Structure formats: structure tokens, C-alpha cells
Amino acid sequence: MNAATQEANYTLDIFAEITGVSTQTILHYQEHGIIRPRLDDEAVRALRRIEHLRETCEMNLAGLKLLTSLLDEVEQLREERRMLQK
């Protein structure tokens, strides 16, 4: 079993409790494609990053979606680079 299959999957209520974000906001982010529907540890990290950006940069949904997409792409490129360096 790899680490990805060992991650916890949370119900919406537990996810909201862990992140401190309302269920309504989480569903709103999911509807707009800002976080994925699967509520796991990766989604917790993503939501915390999104909330940090929203609070510190005062970004709207469109800005959050664009920025998170760009950050995900940067992370993917970094991972590809790491794999090529091995």
C-alpha cells in the first residue's frame, strides 16, 4: 500500500471541523472547482492554502481558482523535474 491509499477520507462535517471552514464554503469551493470533491489530507492542505490566500490577499473566487491552478501546475512541474533528476 502506498501513502496515497493510506490517506484518510473525511465526511463534510469532519472536514469542516478539521479546517475551521464552514460546510457551505467548502461546498461553494467544490462547485467552483477550487477544491476537489474528495475530502482527504491533500484537500485539507489545499483548503488551508486557499483560505490563507483569501485572507492575506483578499482574493475573490476567480482569483483563487486561477492562483490555485497555477500553484498546482508549478508543483507538478517541480515533481516532474525531481523525477528527471533521479
Number of compact structural domains in the chain = 1
**What distance in Å separates the CA atoms of residue 81 and residue 37, rounded to the nearest whole number?**
28
CB atoms closer than 10 angstroms to residue 76: 10
3-state class (DSSP) for residue 86: coil
Query: Do 86 and 64 touch, CB atoms closer than 8 A?
Result: no
pTM over 0.85? The answer is no
Give the pLDDT confidence of 25-55 residue by residue, as tens digits: 999 999 999 999 999 999 999 999 999 989 9
Q: Kindly report the CATH number assigned to the domain that includes residue 49.
A: 1.10.1660.10
Q: Name the residue with cell 483578499.
A: 58
Range of the domain at 59: 3-85
**What distance in Å separates the CA atoms of residue 57 and residue 16, rounded to the nearest whole number?**
22
- Tell me what percent of the residues of the chain surpass a pLDDT of 70: 93
